[in-house]
Amino acid sequence: MGHVLVPEHTILSEHECQELFKKYSIRPDQLPKILHTDPAVVAIGAKPGQIVKIERKSQTAKQAIAYRLVIESEGAAAMPEIIADIGLDSGSESTDM
């Protein structure tokens, strides 16, 4: 987006997604969500089901990286379809803490 207060947002490739899931032993539905209507998501052209990498500057760590699953405004109702669309089985139900 180019604004000083907006961190860098990039769409992960399918290969990068698989590496992320393997590295952290997670499924896409376990990532924090970001709406497809978020201005930063719209600016980079991310679609529901894609994973966005957010890189923020940090005073203590120099850089903080976060990942978000792009979802439609309906949110959880679309989750099974999103997981099927990106070719991953959601497996067992996640447990919220």
Fold held by 8-85: Eukaryotic RPB6 RNA polymerase subunit (3.90.940)
For 65, which DSSP code? E
**Which among 37, 75, 33 has a CA at the least distance from the CA of 52?**
33
Query: What is the DSSP secondary structure assignment for residue 4, as one 8-state letter?
Result: T
The distance in angstroms from the start CA to the end CA of the chain is 34
Euclidean distance between CA atoms 1 and 8, whole angstroms: 8
- The pTM assigned to this predicted structure is 0.72
CB–CB of 11/71 below 8 Å?
A: no
Q: What are the residue boundaries of the structural domains of the chain, listed by start? A: 8-85
Ordered per-residue pLDDT tens for the chain, 97 residues: 567 778 999 999 999 999 999 999 999 999 999 999 999 999 999 999 999 999 999 889 899 999 999 999 864 555 666 666 666 554 544 444 4
